[in-house]
């Protein structure tokens, strides 16, 4: 390999993009930096950004090994910060779903505030669906070998309107909790060694997919109700 100490423009875009998307300082996510899938993914992105191929098909690299490793660390930190931010936003939107639902159910059907609470309830469900999908797509770029969708079809129980969609809301809550646990165990908690093989079948992306499907279904139900 032919290394130089210059910062190529393509890598500069990667780094500056990280700085403006919620970059956190190195060492904040030390365990995540050692995650083999994360590390391989971002090292490959850095190498691609610092390489060129001559007319004989030989590939050359700019920068040095320490430089590449350091910027891979920065990109991993940025990814983890962004993922943590999206997960926090998902939980915040779901908390608003719960608050709006409780307010709507506490008011009489003809109360003027009930319709406003129901509208907030519906809009918050849509926000949950959108945030879950954003986070699922973000993870799917890294965990490319895992299923990120399922054959799940949301079912609304017959007593849903009477109960205020209690079991459906509980299902969303459980799926968010499962997704968060998987994310924490795999990316953030050094005492929980989760191999990618353990994520086969149901994984954080499947849970998020089911959150999106059920939240979207409930939002539609409230719109037509």
pLDDT over 90 at 165, yes or no: yes
Q: Which residue has the higher pLDDT, 160 or 11?
A: 160
Q: pLDDT band for position 191 (50/70/90)?
A: low
pLDDT at 16 over 70: no
* Long-range contacts of the stretch 152-156 (C-beta < 8 A, 24+): 152/206, 152/209, 152/210, 152/213, 153/213, 154/210, 154/213, 154/214, 154/216, 154/217, 154/218, 156/217, 156/218, 156/221
The residue-averaged pLDDT of 112-128 equals 94
| pLDDT higher than threshold 60 for residue 73 | yes
Percent pLDDT > 70 in the chain is: 74
Q: Is the pLDDT of residue 23 over 50?
A: no
More confident residue, 24 or 20: 24
What would the pLDDT profile of 138-152 be if each residue is shown by its tens digit?
999 999 888 888 899
User: What's the pTM?
Assistant: 0.79
pLDDT of residue 142: 92
Of 136 and 26, which is predicted with more confidence?
Answer: 136
Higher pLDDT, 94 or 22: 94
Residues found in the chain: 225
Using the structure block, give the residue that is written with the tokens 């159910």. 105
Q: Which residue, 84, 87, 76, is CA-closest to 15?
A: 76
Region 96-103 average pLDDT: 96
Nearest to residue 181, comparing CAs of 157, 148, 161, 204?
204
Supply 82's token pair.
Answer: 């962004």
As a whole number of angstroms, the distance between CA 9 and CA 223 comes to 49
What is the 3-class SS of 18-38, one letter each residue? HHCCCCCCCCCCHHHHCCHHH
């Amino acid at each position: 390999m032919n290394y130089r100490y210059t910062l190529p423009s393509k890598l500069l875009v990667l780094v500056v993009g990280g700085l403006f998307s919620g970059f956190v300082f190195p060492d904040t996510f030390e365990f995540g930096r050692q995650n083999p899938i994360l590390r391989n993914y971002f090292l490959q992105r850095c190498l691609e950004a610092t390489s060129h191929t001559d007319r004989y098909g030989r590939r050359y690299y700019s920068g040095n090994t320490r430089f590449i490793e350091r910027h891979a660390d920065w990109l991993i930190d940025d990814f983890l910060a962004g993922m943590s931010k999206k997960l926090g936003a998902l939980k915040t939107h779901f908390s608003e779903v719960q608050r709006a639902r409780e307010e709507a159910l506490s008011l009489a059907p003809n109360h003027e505030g009930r319709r406003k609470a129901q509208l907030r309830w519906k809009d918050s469900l849509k926000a949950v669906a959108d945030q879950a999908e954003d986070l699922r797509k973000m993870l799917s770029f890294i965990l490319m070998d895992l299923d990120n969708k399922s054959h799940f079809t949301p079912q609304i129980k017959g007593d849903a309107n009477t109960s205020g969609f209690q079991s459906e809301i509980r299902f969303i809550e459980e799926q968010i909790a499962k997704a968060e646990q998987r994310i924490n165990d795999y990316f953030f908690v050094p005492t929980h060694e989760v191999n990618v093989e353990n994520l086969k079948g149901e994984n954080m992306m499947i849970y998020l997919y089911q959150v999106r499907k059920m939240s979207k279904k409930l939002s539609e139900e409230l719109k037509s109700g």
